[in-house]
Structure 1
Amino acid sequence: MFQKNQELIIDYFRTGRVNGDVMTQAHEPLNVMDSTTDYSTKTARGVHLSKPLAFIILVIFGLTLVTASLLVYNYAACPRTDQLANVTKYEICHCDQSKLSVIPLKTERPKIEPIETTTEPPKEIVLSPSDLRLPENVKPERYYLKITPYLIEGNFTFDGEVSVVLTVLNETDQVVFHGVELTLHDVKLYGREDGRPVVITRRTEEPLRHFHIVSLGQPLDTGKQYVLNISYTGILNDNLHGFYRSSYEEKGVKRWIAVTQFQAMDARRAFPCWDEPALKARFTISIARPSNMTSLSNMDIIRKEPHKTLPNYTWDHYSESLPMSTYLVAFTVTDFQNMTDRNFSVWARKEALPSAAFALEIGPKILRFLEDYYKIKFPLPKIDMIALPDFKNGAMENWGLLTFREIAMLYENGVSATMDKVHVATVVAHEIAHQWFGNLVTPSWWRDLWLNEGFATYVEYVAVDAVEKSWNITEICILDQVHNVFQLDALNSSHQLSVDVTASEETDAIFDKISYGKGSALLRMLNHILTDEVFNAGVTDYLNAKMYGNAEQRDLWSALTTAARKKGDFDADVAVVMDSWTLQTGFPVLTVSRDYKTGSISLSQERFVLINETTQKSPVWWIPVSYTTASEKDFHSTQPRLWLKGEKAIVSNITAKKEDWFIANIQQTGFYRVNYDQRNWELLIKILKDPKRFQDIHIINRAQMVDDAMNLALTGRLDYKTALDVTSYLAHERSYVPWKAGLSALGYIDTMLSKGANYLEYGRYVLRLLSGAVDEVGWEVTANESVITAQYRVDLLASACHFEHPDCMENAVRMYANWMLAPNPDAYNEIPVEVRGIAYCVGVRAGGAREWQFAWSRLRAAAPAERHRLLSVLGCTRAPHLLHRYLELALRNDSGIRKQDVVRVFSAVAGTAIGQPIAFNFIRANWQRLRSFVGSISTLNLIVKVVTRRLNQRHEYEELKRFVTESCSDLGRPVQQVLESISANVQWRERNYQTIVDWLLTAEKIAEAS
């Protein structure tokens, strides 16, 4: 599942139940089992018999039943082939029982006692609320699923029938499975070989863990197979999880669609199942859909037929899938159209379909590259990619049916910016990479989620770089997957990469930068340690060994160790090295101290944290150390020359001259920061400030030094004078990656000073750094500009306008005003696409209600990329009443703001010093309303994070802590991370505010004098 600048996602909002009796009216009769069991609790009335007579009659009845069963068993006809294909009614037969999938409807069953259905767990079972795992007594082998959604106003529901072939692993008298927000109408269990019914004595539900428990009158035999038949109804919810409804408008007509999103634990909202990643099974899916619509699922359609009881409905029957986890099952019912390139298809709304052309162009290229990269052919007959109007995640890797938010799949020339194209390419690559890592080989449990997401994130850059070499996207990878992740992993409340999860909220919380970004960064580090050849060979061996099964990280380490030892270049156990990175929280800072007389170097390590809790013992890592010197200038040899092998410190001789600078961690391939002694920092600053020689240092290492220095100063490990001296070299830097690192690092100071009296001095300092680069890059966008240049211009101009650079403001305001004056602004917009976001924001910020209302009126009719921009710029206004209005509109179903975009609205409002307190006060005053509307723990966590990130005074921290305690302590680890971040802000302000102000005043005097 793809995630960029948002945490991805499990919803736990509980919608209302639907009365199952109402739901079955006018629907196709269930064809999986009879409903003959009496659930009534009334006392029976009628003829009363004496006990002896009743006993004689009972014996005669039993003998008759046994005789009849034997006759049926020996002489009944075999099921016809067409019946097998249709998954319809069967009679017990003396044929190949291995083909029997769904048990007969008309098997005679002995009358059993009434079954009590309760929501209370049986007394004989002790259920721990913290334990999510199902009992390991049975394993699903095959699911036969039939589902019928009803896209009707006032009746957004679905009917379902599922037959599950189970293998008994341990003798048990219970069958336990998952189901939530489902009304089960009929539950039957049969022996697969003989078709005999198994008596069900009790059905119970344990809502906390979404368990349904079926208690049996006799134990199931180890090694035998049984078939569980269930008919049920469910809700097509509007919370973007499970099987949910979505809508869009076309020519003023509202159209409804039904789609799925199951990761991590929401397949259970669509059908009763064993909803754990290790419990793989084969799925045969049939979907009933309105005849004027289309369905899609993981596999290819093998047959269509008219619905027997629902007019204007058609059954689509799909071929059996390969073994896969429940979270990868997917199906959609839409009226979308498609474009196809052999086995690759893209689907979208009719009006949006032309914008899917780029995805169709790059998708097959990436697929072919990854088949070669993994040396394993894609095993399914087709891939469908579908762009959805409402989708909570960026995208989802369902096997053979990739689902996307529209902005992540659609690229429209003249509307989408260059970086939008990059975004589409990386998301497509990420999801296709998952077809091997995650789908073909799946983690045994969510603790190793990073094996999915870390690998897909790493490979997305490898794949896009392979098919679009001119983009130089591997440089951007450092910013996204190293620098960006350091911020979260520097918290004490961060988590291990491979982390146990024992509650739903904990599973939700690990879909974060650690699993995605840190996982990717560590794989990149390991690749540089082992070399491409060894790393890729080990990965391929791992995939082949675990194909169609499950794995843990130790399986990957074993394959890589074997591959490395075959080559002979690396004799350590990969597990020993990498476990120090995946089983420990955080990352190290490597401190380099040089003896300039002897040439020796001392290396020491400690954990890098924002708030140092001295009572905690600092962990140690196996740190690969690559380095170069002024004399060598070798920035291409990234394999380690030294190791800290789980040691606190080592001393080694080096050949650097005392006047040479020394740089460790070449191209920042290692996931750690580097600090130097003061003299080495001075040597580095000297070379950086030399306009003719600073490019002797690799572009990534220039970015690394800026990012490391500013963050070392942030935590008190380096004085701010030295760190800010490093940033001052940016005045003559003309490359994107160092500038982006500099703007990000300086952005923290911007946030901390934005409410202070000396913010003007800070703004003037940044403008002095920017002026040369801004003048050079300008506003004029040339044809066929590189990706790096396009993003470089956007970031520079955005920063310049943020600090009210005169030319920047003039250009932006003029462009926005001209757009407003256009006769048809929805059709005519001469602002270059690349800089529209900047011009829009400045126009709204400099204007008033008219300018804001103009942007708002453009929102509803905008294409996905334009809509994405407008959602952000509407928060640029300085008018408090408009910001309040925008937040109110975000919580209204009729406003045109989709639920998937609520976080973007809050982030936009809270992104300024004016809007932040408005947004924070709004969520406190409307918390219960917000919770009810959003319906998602992960979304609530994101909102809390974005509206509080600018807090930095002690009274603000106390207000936040009180709010968390009183209203949202149940949000888990993410909200604790928010508290820790704000506590760090408070400490920083108290420790560094005056130091920064003094440095800025001195720098301004020097600038004026020169």
Structure 2
Amino acid sequence: MTQGREPLTIMDGNLQTDFSTKSKRGVYLSKSLTFVILVIFALALVATAFIVYNFAACPRADHLANVTKIEHICDQSKLLVIPLSTENSKSVTLFESTTNTIETTTSDYDNSVKDVRLPTNIKPNKYFLKLTPYIFEGNFTFDGEVSIIITVKNLTNTVTFHGVELSFHKIELFKKVDGKEVKIVRKTEDVARQFHILRTAEDLIAGQQYVLNITFTGILNDNLHGFYRSMYEEKKEKRWIAVTQFQATDARRAFPCWDEPALKAKFTISIARPKNLTSVSNMNIVKREAHESLPNYTWDHYAESLPMSTYLVAFVVTDFGNMSDSKNNFSVWARKEALPSAAYALEIGPKILKFLEEYYKIKFPLPKIDMIALPDFKAGAMENWGLLTFREIAMLYDTGVSPTTAKARVASVVAHEIAHQWFGNLVTPAWWSDIWLNEGFASYVEYVAVDAVEKTWKLMEVFVLNEVQSVFKLDALTSSHQISVEVGNPEEIGAIFDKISYGKGSAILRMMNHFLTDDVFNAGITDYLNAKKFGDAEQRDLWSALTNAAREKKAFDADVGVVMDSWTLQTGFPVLTITRDYKTGIITFQQERFVLLNDTVNGNNSSVWWIPVSYTTAAEKDFVSTRPKLWLRGERSIVVDNITIGDNDWLIGNIQQTGFYRINYDQHNWNLLIKILNDQSRFQEIHPINRAQIIDDSMNLALSGRLDYRTALDITSYLSHEKSYVPWKAGLVALGYIDTMLSKGAYYLEYKRYVLRLLSGAVQELGWEILTNESVVRAQHRVDLLSTACHLQHVECLEHAVRMYTNWMLTPNPDAYNEIHADLRSTVYCVGVQAGNAREWNFAWERFLAVSVPSERELLLSVLGCTRAPYLLYRYLELALRNDSGIRKQDTVRVFSAVASSSIGEPIAFNFVRANWQRLKEYVGSVSTLNSILKVVTRRLNQVHEYEELKRFVSESCSDLGRPVLQVLERTAANVQWMEKNYQTIVNWLLTVDKSAPKVTDA
């Protein structure tokens, strides 16, 4: 699954769902009126039961095996079971099912329950699933029937499976060998664990197979998980579709199942859909036929799948159009008016697939791939086997309307999901603890694949920014978590779909790729996939395959598991301090855990890692060879005396930042780096990734108190002559934290003047004119620099942007004609809204309601938060919590993030969240969404009283949100500590370099 590029929700682990958004009111009834109502209600129940019984489809367990076929014949009085032996077709025996009275009990809900694993006495082998969704207003439900062939692993008299928000009508159990019914005497629902437990009258025998038949009804919810409904408008007409999103624990909302990743089974799926709609599922359609009782419905029957996990099952019912590449069995689906925008996804998808087949050395095992762009989708995308589902913004690209960077986004997300077809789908983690095996690998391979297909984009350089440096910020918190971490309930599982599993997972795979070499790494990956295909695995299986590959090629002398467990089973990452003795030539390499809060350092010094150390010197300037020249093998420090280097020559460690650690140096070496970077004729001798690393490491070492901020800021001064995107982006991110911290202070003006001096040359060089076929990297570079310049009130930038926005507003038909280049719109729109008032804001809001292009809608959602008018910001937040506003529920976090992105909007957003917490909880229906909202509205808090307010709010209202809310508290505490320790140092430095500023003395 792909995360959103902004703080989007990833998973939903909410156990309880309230479908109402209305407030509760009291009603008082008389006794006589109450009696009448009860009688009417009872009669209605009887009538409803009669209708459901007569019109519900009959449970089937056909196509079970070559040996046995069981058919159910529906009759109003009885259910007949017909075992048909293929060996002797003349032998037919009828078994009439007995009428069982099943005692049903429900356990109390218990939030403290941690052990949510299913018993191991039953394993599912095959599911035969039939669903009939009712996709029209007033009846968003679905009827279902499932026959599951199960194998008993140990003698038992219980059958336990998952089910949430499903109403069961009939449950039956039969012996597969002879079709005899096994009497069920009790059904218990364990709400806390989302279990349904069947107690049988007789023991189920180990080694034997049984058939479990269940008919049920479910709800097409509007919470973007399970089997849910979605609405969009085309030609001013409402259109409803039904969609699935099951990762991690939501298949159980669509059908009764064994909803754990290791419990793979084959699926034969049939979907009944209105004749004017189309269904798509994991496999190819093998048959269509008229529905037996619904004249306007058609059955789509799909081929049996390969063994797969329940979370990868997928089906959609839509009125979408499609385009196909028949040569490669590839198809794309989207709203009919948006379908042309799927052309690029259809073009690059088969290229990515072909590359990955060669990369993994394993052919894609399914007969087809469908990719579908959905109007409502909580994640960025989802890797369902053979049916990849996407948020529209992640799959649709419109040349001339979408920014150039959107093309790279589509390519990356498509590559990510296709990479999952092997890592995750073919081989699946045995439990969610190792979800990084899925997400980390897909996050790494997406860059490898796109870099191979779109070579000019240089995405492997961008990897360091997006994955390595980005995840450092989260992993520097003590409330971070291990890559491989024990999780139990759905909330805990959902919480690990974060930057640690994705970003850190991908970063350590890249590190391993570099110290093992491509040949060894790729050979080990192929061996791992072949050994575990169609099954499940743990990380030790991957380590074993890589160790064997390394030993066969005599490329690495250590056990890969010993090395990598130090990275996956420990929280955090190290900072490696390189200290040179300039008299003796001895160099010391010392490691300790890097943490953000100074007062937590000593308590975490026990952590040590196996660190691959690569380096180069001023004499070598070898930034190509990334293999380690030495190792810290779990040692606190090592001393080396065989490195030849002059006293006035610099040394740089961690070539191309392939290792997942920061580097600190002694002060003299830092000074040598400052000197070479500020030499305009020689700074490019250092690789651009390492220039970015030097900026990012130094600024974060200063942030955590390990380096004098004056040294770090001196390093940033070289940016005035930097031309490359990667170092500039690292600099803007690092300086952006100072921007956030100083934005409410008295000396923000000095900060602005300093950064504008750095920017001026690069802004002038890039300019506002965009060349034809401009590279993705250059386009992103321009966006970052212009938006920063305008944010800092660069006069020419503001004037240019306001003029362009005003001209667009004066256009007679602004929705049809917009001369602002797509790459400039994010800057121009934001400045236009910010500089104006209600008129400019309403113009952007009207464009948002009118436009259908996903990238433009997403952009407008962000820029609507740029206004400085508090009443408009409050209005925008209110609109985000209304179903009828035009803002989709999937975009709620984006709205709060947009409002909270300025010093004006942040307290408004935080106060709004506190005042409307219960309403927010009821509306979004998702723990992960609440965590994301809380994160974005608190990122600017840096005062003691703000931290105390946050702690009080968390304690009173949201202490149950788990690890993410602890991370919010720790990050805020770090902001407060930063202000206390670094604010005055930075102000003094800025005053020193800003010759135009009035001089002040410390208070």
The TM tier, using the shorter chain, reads over 0.9
CA distance in 2, matches of 1:334, 1:547: 32
Displacement of 1:93 in angstroms is 3.6
Q: Does the 8 Å contact 2:420/2:442 carry over to 1?
A: yes
Match of 1:120 among 107, 111, 115: 107
Residues 637-680 of structure 1 show CA distances to partners (whole Å, capped at 9, x for unaligned) of 10000100000000002111111000000000000000000000
Do the aligned partners of 1:182 and 1:232 also contact (CA within 8 Å) in 2?
yes
Q: Which of 798, 815, 820 is residue 787 of structure 2 equivalent to?
A: 798
Pair 1:884 & 2:874 matched: yes
User: What is the Cα deviation at residue 25 of structure 1?
Assistant: 3.0
Whole-Å separation in 1 of the counterparts to 2:720 and 2:888? 42
Alpha carbons 2:437, 2:539 under 8 Å: kept: yes
Q: Counterpart amino acid of 2:2?
A: F
Contact in 2 for aligned 1:20/1:185 (Cα 8 Å):
no
Match of 1:228 among 204, 209, 212: 212
Candidates 785, 807, 832, aligned match of 2:796:
807
The change in CA–CA distance for 1:89 and 1:854 in structure 2 (over 3 A counts) is farther
Where 1:351 maps in the other structure, the secondary structure is helix
Cα displacement string for residues 408-448 of structure 1 (whole angstroms, at most 9, x for unaligned residues): 00000111011100000000000000000000000000000
Preserved CA contact (<8 Å) 1:11 1:239 = no
Once the two structures are superposed, what CA deviation does each residue of 1:471-525 show, in whole Å capped at 9, x if it has no partner? 1111111100001000000000000000000222110100000000000000000
Aligned to 1:495: 481
Question: Take 2:588 and 2:45, find their aligned partners in 1: how far apart are those partners?
Answer: 72
Does residue 718 in structure 1 map to residue 707 in structure 2?
A: yes
Q: SS in structure 2 opposite 1:218?
A: strand
Query: Which residue of 2 is the match for residue 564 of structure 1?
Result: 550
What RMSD, in angstroms, separates the aligned Cα atoms of the two structures?
2.2
**Contact 2:468–2:660 (8 Å) recurs in 1:** yes
Change (3 A) 1:78 1:162: closer
Give the equivalent residue in structure 1 for 2:828. Answer: 839
Retained in 1: the 8 A contact 2:575–2:661? yes
The residue type paired with residue 661 of structure 1 is W
Quote the offset at 1:388 in angstroms. Answer: 0.2
Normalised to the residue count of structure 2, the TM-score between the two structures is: 0.93
Query: Matched residue of 2:182: which SS?
Result: coil
Unaligned runs of 5+ in 2: 21-43, 62-66, 74-78
Shift of 1:30: 3.0
Q: Could you tell me how far apart the structure 2 residues matched to 1:296 and 1:328 are?
A: 14
Shift of 1:618: 3.0
**C-alpha separation between the residues in 2 aligned to 1:246 and 1:469?**
38
> Size of the alignment, in residue pairs?
955
TM-score by length of 1: 0.92
Q: Letter of the aligned partner of 2:210 in structure 1?
A: Y
What is residue 360 of structure 1 aligned with on the other side?
346
Which deviates more from structure 2 when the two are superposed, residues 285-294 or residues 11-20? 11-20
Aligned counterparts, 1:516-595, within 5 A? 516-595=502-581
Q: Using the alignment, how far apart are the partners of 1:97 and 1:749 within structure 2?
A: 80
Structure 1 residue 644 corresponds to structure 2 residue 632: yes
Match of 1:10 in 2: 12
Where does residue 741 of structure 1 map in the other structure?
Answer: 730
Shift of 1:1006: 8.2
1:595·1:601 contact (CA, 8 Å) conserved in 2? Answer: yes
| CA distance, structure 2, for counterparts of residue 735 and residue 775 of structure 1 | 14
Question: 1:136: which partner in 2?
Answer: 120
For 1:989, give the aligned amino acid: M
Question: Structure 1 pair 349/590, CA: closer, same or farther in 2 (3 Å)?
Answer: same
Answer yes or no: is 1:197 the counterpart of 2:181: yes
Q: What amino acid does structure 2 have at the position aligned with 1:12?
A: N
Structure 1 position 91 matched with structure 2 position 67: no
The equivalences for 1:730-879 within 5 A come to 730-862=719-851, 863-879=853-869
- Does the 8 Å contact 2:13/2:491 carry over to 1? no
Structure 1 runs (4+) deviating above 4 angstroms are 16-21, 77-83, 1006-1009
Q: 1:888-922 CA distances to partner (integer Å, 9 max, x unpaired)?
A: 00000000000000000000000000000000000
2:895 counterpart residue number: 905
1:111–1:345 Cα change, 3 Å: closer
Report what 2:963 is aligned to. Answer: 973
Q: Within the alignment, does 1:259 sit opposite 2:243 as a pair?
A: yes
Which position in structure 2 is the counterpart of 1:484? 470
Cα deviation, residue 860, structure 1: 1.6
Structure 2 match to 1:469: 455
> 2:614 corresponds to which residue?
626
**In 2, are the aligned partners of 1:97 and 1:193 still within 8 Å (CA)?**
no
Contact 1:20-1:233 within 8 A present in 2 as well: no
Whether contact under 8 Å (2:81, 2:96) holds in the other structure is no
Contact 1:121 1:204 in 2 (8 A): no
Change in Cα spacing, 1:81 to 1:616, as seen in structure 2 (3 Å) is: closer
State the distance in 2 between where 1:156 and 1:887 align.
28
Q: CA deviation at 1:109?
A: 3.7
For 2:452, the aligned partner's letter is A
SS at match of 2:95: coil
SS for the counterpart of 1:10 is coil
Q: Secondary structure at the match of 1:155?
A: coil
State the distance in 1 between where 2:259 and 2:87 align.
30
CA apart distance, 1:154: 1.1
1:635 matched to 2:623? The reply is yes
- 2:51 pairs, out of 18, 21, 25, with 25
* 2:701 aligned with 1:699: no
- 1:615 Cα shift? 3.1
Distance 1:1008 1:697, change over 3 A: farther
Corresponding residue of 1:947: 937
Q: Determine what percentage of the aligned residue pairs are the same residue.
A: 70
Structure 2: distance between partners of 1:328 and 1:669: 33
**1:601 and 1:791 mapped to 2: Cα distance?**
40
Q: Secondary structure at the match of 1:834?
A: coil
Following superposition, the deviation at residue 7 of structure 1 comes to 4.5
Instruction: Give the aligned residue type for 1:791.
Output: Q
Q: What is the distance in 1 between the residues matched to 2:902 and 2:759? A: 21
Find out whether 1:932 has 2:922 as its counterpart. Answer: yes
Alignment of 1:380-529 (within 5 A): 380-529=366-515
Contact 1:629 1:663 in 2 (8 A): yes
Q: Give the counterpart letter for 1:32 in structure 2.
A: P
- Quick one: distance in 2 between partners of 1:323 and 1:827? 49
Quote how far apart the aligned CAs of 1:117 are.
1.0
Deviation at 1:128, TM superposition (A): 8.0
The letter of the residue matching 1:549 is: G
Counterpart amino acid of residue 606 in structure 1: E
Residue number in structure 2 paired with 1:72: none
Indicate the residue corresponding to 1:679 in structure 2. 668
CA distance in 2 between counterparts of 1:30 and 1:82 reads: 11
What residue ranges of structure 1 are gaps of 5+ in the alignment?
A: 35-76
Cα–Cα, structure 1 residues 94 and 408, in superposed 2: closer, same or farther, change >3 Å?
closer
Give the aligned partner of residue 29 of structure 2: none
Q: Name the SS of the counterpart of 1:308 in structure 2.
A: coil
- Residues 830 and 869 of structure 1, relative CA distance in 2, 3 Å threshold: same
Change (3 A) 1:868 1:965: same
Q: In structure 2, what residue type is equivalent to 1:31?
A: C
**Cα deviation 1:547-582 (Å, max 9, x = unaligned):** 100000000000000000111121100000000000
The residue identity in structure 1 corresponding to 2:789 is A
Amino acid aligned to 1:8: I
Q: CA deviation at 1:33?
A: 7.0
* Separation (CA, whole Å) in 2 of partners of 1:753 and 1:432: 43
- The structure-2 alpha-carbon separation of the partners of 1:17 and 1:932, relative to structure 1 and needing over 3 Å to count, comes to closer
CA distance in 1, matches of 2:182, 2:292: 30
